[in-house]
Amino acid sequence: MSTSIAERGTDEQQPKPRIPAEGHHRDVNGGWLRPAVFGAMDGLVSNFALMTGVVGGNVGNSAVVLTGLAGLAAGACSMAAGEYTSVASQRELVQAEIEAERLELSRNPHGELAELAELYVSRGVDPELAHEVARQLSADPEQTLAIHAREELGIDPDDLPSPTVAAASSFLCFALGALLPLLPYLLGAHSLVPALLLSLAGLFTCGAVVARVTARSWWFSGLRQLVLGGGAAGVTYLLGLLIGGHVG
């Protein structure tokens, strides 16, 4: 007997490696996360900085509120339009590359099959097995196209980002972010202090929330966003102080 009972018992007591369940990964390619994050950050930082610059110019509360509302509306529309155009252009470029690959598959199927087999060989698969795998995977034209797109272009034809989702995410999140420094004034505040405190808290919170989908710690991400957003507001406030009295 090659293995004793004691040895088998020891082996059985060893913890088995845990295989992670499928489907636990976060969605990183759905077209909504990046515009949502950037929209919220942009809305908060830009409107906070815009309003502090106006306050530095020593204007009345009505002018501050009007500036904040205009910044919210203009920024949200601009961000949505920019995201829609950007993602739509990217999607059209990807679709053009997929169509080029489809045409190449129809013109030179044997060459594309050999190319796919060679790719598997380069990853350590035995040449005969690689050719057989490529042959079987190439039986369905649509599956073949999807495999070539993933392996050669690094894209998934079935998971392209949506311009509409990106635009809507950007618009809504920018508006929510831009509303934060404006909210105290809408509720009757007559100084910058409540808006300042709420905006700084929002900056730290946004940074900390972003850390949930990145590898950074929440406090680092929160402090980084707090410093960057606070710095932007400080610069515009100083500009308001310097040039506010010389305008109009």
Taking only the tens place, the pLDDT of each residue in 31-80 is 577 778 788 989 999 999 999 999 999 899 999 999 999 999 999 999 99
Distances (CA, A) of 67 to 54, 102, 161: 8, 52, 34
Number of domains in the chain: 1
Q: Is residue 8 part of a domain?
A: no
- Is there a domain that residue 85 lies in? yes
Is 20 among the domain residues? no
Whether residue 116 is contained in a domain is answered as yes
**Which of 10-19, 30-39, 196-205, 234-243 has the least mean pLDDT?**
10-19
Assign 3-class secondary structure to 40-100.
HHHHHHHHHHHHHHHHHCCCCHHHHHHHHHHHHHHHHHHHHHHHHHHHHHHHHHHHHHHHH
Give pTM, 2 decimals. 0.76
Range of the domain at 42: 33-238
**Which pLDDT tens digit goes with each residue over 206-234?**
888 888 767 789 899 999 999 999 999 99
Q: Are 45 and 228 in contact (CB under 8 A)?
A: yes
- Position 85 scores a pLDDT of 96
